[in-house]
Amino acid sequence: MDKERKAHLEARARVLKAMAHPSRLLIIEELEKTERCVCELTEMIGADISTVSKHLSVLRQAGIVADDKRGNQVYYRLRIPCMLKFFDCVESVLESQAGARVACLAGGCR
Amino acid sequence: MDKERKAHLEARARVLKAMAHPSRLLIIEELEKTERCVCELTEMIGADISTVSKHLSVLRQAGIVADDKRGNQVYYRLRIPCMLKFFDCVESVLESQAGARVACLAGGCR
DNA sequence: CATCTACTTGGCTAATATGCCAAATAGCCA
DNA sequence: TGGCTATTTGGCATATTAGCCAAGTAGATG
């Protein structure tokens, strides 16, 4: 395989891998709505704050979120505003599993 | 957190996790173009055929590909035709890492 | 039937991810 | 300064993943 192609595939995989966790998806969904500090996200997720901090670190290193320290709180926001659209196709995979393969073909993942 | 929401996040995460590997992304890209048998994909990837078979199994279980045995070869194809569009936003994450944050805002991830 | 090819599965090791606790860091406020 | 709150980091146990080899299965073909 082409070296450049390989590097590109690896880069894409890193981003997807960073997203591929329920708590991190929740974070992304919430940050779609508005920025949040770590303790707010921690409360939504219901895990140890250190765990949430590490999830945020994964997302930051992948370039998905950015942080912003204000006072003694750290606010996180999405760096890329199109994450929700990004999910359309994931949804159609899920719908197809449920037998409703129609949605995507009908334009659900445009 | 809402039980239903949790289940939904987990379902999404499973799909993303299935995609989050360079070899599996290559498989998806190639199957965008045309169906392929295991040995063709194996040659493109350059790993052991058993490894590739396991990657395909991951994708199949996630509902991303379907298989079709013809003769003694097994052909794989995408179940969901919108995978390439799905990547637009991943790309904009990567571009933003490279400093070119413009692309997505300018419509690159529509 | 014997054998070949194509593929899958089992088993193993090494690497990576997850999540908690405890300790360290940083800013605020008395 | 001292103590408080918010967050990050280190360390550890456990779980999951990746990849190879070897063995098993299934269809094709002589």
Q: Is B46 in Cβ contact with A87 (below 8 Å)?
A: no
Look up tokens 């359309």; give the residue: A88
For A52-107, what is each residue's pLDDT tens digit?
A: 999 999 999 998 999 999 999 999 999 877 666 666 655 655 565 554 333 333 33
State yes or no: pLDDT of B17 exceeds 50: yes
Confidence of residue A12 (pLDDT cuts 50, 70, 90): confident
The reply to whether A12 touches chain B by the CB within 8 Å rule is yes
The band of A43, judged by pLDDT with boundaries at 50, 70 and 90, is: very high
For B59-64, what is the mean pLDDT? Answer: 92
What ipTM is given for this predicted complex?
0.82
- A73 CA → C13 C1’, Å: 43
Q: Is the CB of A1 under 7 A from strand D?
A: no
B54 touches chain A (CB under 8 A): no
Q: Does A31 touch chain B (CB under 8 A)?
A: no
CA dist B12 and A9 (Å) reads 21
* Fold of the CATH domain A3-79: Arc Repressor Mutant, subunit A (1.10.10)
Length of chain A as a residue count: 110
- Note whether B82 and A75 are within 8 A (CB): no
Higher-confidence residue of B109 and A69: namely A69
Give the domain ranges of chain A. 3-79, 81-110
| pLDDT tens-digit map of B82-100 | 666 666 655 655 565 554 3
CA distance A27 to A21: 10
